Structure 1
Amino acid sequence: MLDRTATQFSHIKPGDTPYVSGGLRDFFVYRDLGVAQATRGKVIAHLVKANMAPEQGTGWHRHEADFQIVIMLKGWARFMYEDRETLVSAGDCVHQRPGIRHYLFDYSPDMEYLEIVSPADFRTVDVEPACEVPPPTPWK
Structure 2
Amino acid sequence: MHNEGTPRYDGPRQLAQSLSTFARTSAADTPWNQEGLRADSEYRDLGLATVTNGRIGAKHIRALKPFIEPTGWHWHDMTGHYLYVLRGSVTFRFAGVQGDVTLSAGDGLAQPAGVPHNVMWRSDDLEVIEINEPAVFGTWDLPEPPEPWR
TM class by smaller structure: 0.7 to 0.9
Q: Is the 8 A contact 1:6 1:40 kept in 2?
A: no
| Percent sequence identity over aligned pairs | 33
| One-letter identity of the residue aligned with 1:102 | H
CA deviation vs aligned residue, 1:21-80 (integer Å, no higher than 9, x gap): 121111110010011111111000001101111122321111111111000010001111
Aligned partner of 2:26 in structure 1 is 13
Q: Secondary structure at the match of 2:86?
A: strand
Report the TM-score when normalising by structure 2.
0.81
Question: Using the alignment, how far apart are the partners of 2:70 and 2:62 within structure 1?
Answer: 14
| One-letter identity of the residue aligned with 1:124 | T
Question: Using the alignment, how far apart are the partners of 2:54 and 2:35 within structure 1?
Answer: 19
Where does 1:25-40 land on structure 2 (aligned, <5 Å)?
25-40=38-53
Report the TM-score when normalising by structure 1.
0.86
Aligned length in residues: 132
Alignment counterpart, residue 96 of structure 1, candidates 111, 134, 138? 111
CA deviation vs aligned residue, 1:100-130 (integer Å, no higher than 9, x gap): 1111121111100000000011111112313
Q: Which moved more, 1:43-52 or 1:5-14?
A: 5-14
Q: What RMSD over aligned residues (CA atoms) do the two structures have, in Å?
A: 1.7
Q: Is the 8 A contact 2:67 2:124 kept in 1?
A: no
Aligned partner of 1:71 in structure 2 is 84
Q: Which moved more, 1:110-119 or 1:54-63?
A: 54-63
Gap regions ≥5 residues in structure 1: 133-140
Is 2:130 the partner of 1:125? Answer: no
Aligned partner of 2:4 in structure 1 is none
Is 2:66 the partner of 1:53? Answer: yes
More strand by share: 1
Is 2:123 the partner of 1:108? Answer: yes
Q: Secondary structure at the match of 1:84?
A: coil
Larger Rg: 2
